Structure 1
């Protein structure tokens, strides 16, 4: 079936950055899960609360999740314990990849994929996931997905091509139909500048106090003399910034905007949203502290959109049988 609307579920949804990207690719979200109440507040204000589940994903019963085509999730990377295969062999215990992911939030992805068997998955994580524990964690993730019958493609992408931020993330895509050959698309080189996302009028509360600015300068000088690279990041507004982190609310020192005749300032929450590629129509109902955490933890929406469109094109190239979400709901209702 070609050019149809693909449905997806949004796991570890945060404030909906992945959802925005997939909706821009023409997909329909049919179920969402998030555990943080503040992120949920932002998500619901922007997307509504239909089919939203505020709960620990480990407590979700699979039957609660409707039929869908694509599983999406920026899952937290908890430590993976790797038990010795030889020891498990001697005890006649299972030692497959799936067994080694139990106890982690990633296992919930495996659980849902195994039971629901969607056509594809889309996962996002920090770049260092590939190197964690000398590559063993990434090998377990790849192996667990392949072990339940999915292909596995990945690529590290730097978002600075489309937003003015040096932000490298790893994206993982896979298909139930292993005959599908997927190639990550080229990311257009836009190379925007920090000045493109700045507000013209900014409240004085975002300007650093003399005390904080003096502290940051002394801290940076201390590490410079020690030969370290630690310290504040005063941005050249004609270039891109460092990576926005969830810790930005603490002092904003990793991305500071210079100001004529006064101390530098932090980004505003709206500027952080733009730095992540969120449209200005995206509502920010929470405090500055929560907003900084939420945008620092989010994805770069335009990157997700580009990858989602490529994933959709790939699925549309393969004829398939599917039960639509609306049909599945009608079938469920008819038996109640």
Structure 2
């Protein structure tokens, strides 16, 4: 069981999920003294991993600032991936679960002088373009009004793991770092440049080291490392239906991989095209983005190919944990769908660690 160091900077973790952000922060020497989420199933997994004591179950709208620990250095918010309004639905920041964002702002406002010196908001990349940029501009202004200067980064978990998972990170700091003027970069792509050029927004660019290149392999190795686990491979009738649903391009890809001498693994999603369910298999040795699995279309299948044969099964919770950089996570007796949903709604551990080590801790030290 992980424990926070008593003398380390402490963080408040909103929308904590099962605590993957906490693991990444801890690895960088930042503790978590308070966590909140509204789903009992996630609290169960969180407390199995970290123990009971500081996970507060309930709606963030009912969180009172007076009940929070004081002298914290960071407020981390991993907004729910089911929060489609943040990603571009018609309602924008005023609808759906995105109202939770304004409750997050309310709590920070109510903290007053006890407000953490830094904040991080993690969300899907679509937040950067939804409503022509109005949503992210509103979020930045909300942080500006609380005294934070803001930086915006896009980091894909694929730079650390065989898992395609790009995410936006809005980093706010009361103390503005020495800034850099730069053009397009992998962390701040050109479509984010308008944010820094907008004179109504208070922003900065923290100088950062080069982030690792995107991985192109690794999923087959990840699956092979857990080859001894008991899994349920589909029967021939189900595999035939899978094969029959493939498009001509997908079918050709499958045949070529099946003919290889070495065994490889690919991931596949079920799509609906023109009212017909079809399967689409990734061409590379990288897993597709884990999702909040509430139905079959959100679950990812694993396809084993090579030596003249093909087998198919659902991805396991342990594989999902490994794809999020949490291979040692204590799954205990968590139900399969409970675990799949939890990991699909989480943030990748090594991304949090990289951000904390290269951005948050250095700025905390300079502060």
**TM-score bracket, shorter-length normalisation:** 0.7 to 0.9
Gaps of 5+ in 1: 83-97, 319-336
The aligned counterpart of 2:198 is: none
User: Does the residue aligned with 1:105 lie in a helix, a strand or coil?
Assistant: helix
Within a 5 Å distance, the mapping from 1:248-327 to structure 2 comes to 250=296, 254-259=300-305, 261-310=309-358, 311-318=360-367
Kept after mapping to 2: 8 A contact 1:248/1:296: no
Q: Which has the higher strand share?
A: 2
Kept after mapping to 2: 8 A contact 1:162/1:302: yes
Residue 17 to residue 204, structure 1, CA distance change in 2 (3 Å) = closer
Aligned length: 297
The aligned counterpart of 2:221 is: 196
Structure 1 residue 142, shift from structure 2 partner = 1.2
Residue 45 to residue 103, structure 1, CA distance change in 2 (3 Å) = closer
Distance, in Å, in 2 between the alignment partners of 1:265 and 1:247 is: 15
The aligned counterpart of 2:74 is: 70
Per-residue deviation, residues 2-52 of structure 1 (Å, max 9, x unmatched): xx6211011100010111110111111110101111111100000112121
CA-based RMSD of the aligned residues comes to 3.3
Residue 278 to residue 136, structure 1, CA distance change in 2 (3 Å) = same
TM-score normalised per structure 2 = 0.72
Distance, in Å, in 1 between the alignment partners of 2:349 and 2:10 is: 18
The aligned counterpart of 1:243 is: 289
Distance, in Å, in 2 between the alignment partners of 1:222 and 1:247 is: 28
Per-residue deviation, residues 34-84 of structure 1 (Å, max 9, x unmatched): 1111111100000112121111111111111111110011113463799xx
2:84 maps to 1:57 = no
Which of 95, 104, 108 is the equivalent residue of 2:103?
A: 108
Within a 5 Å distance, the mapping from 1:54-203 to structure 2 comes to 54-67=57-70, 68-76=72-80, 77=83, 79=85, 104-116=99-111, 117-178=115-176, 181=179, 182-189=206-213, 191=215, 193-198=218-223, 199-203=226-230
RCO greater where, 1 or 2, for CA within 8 Å and sep 6 or more?
Answer: 1
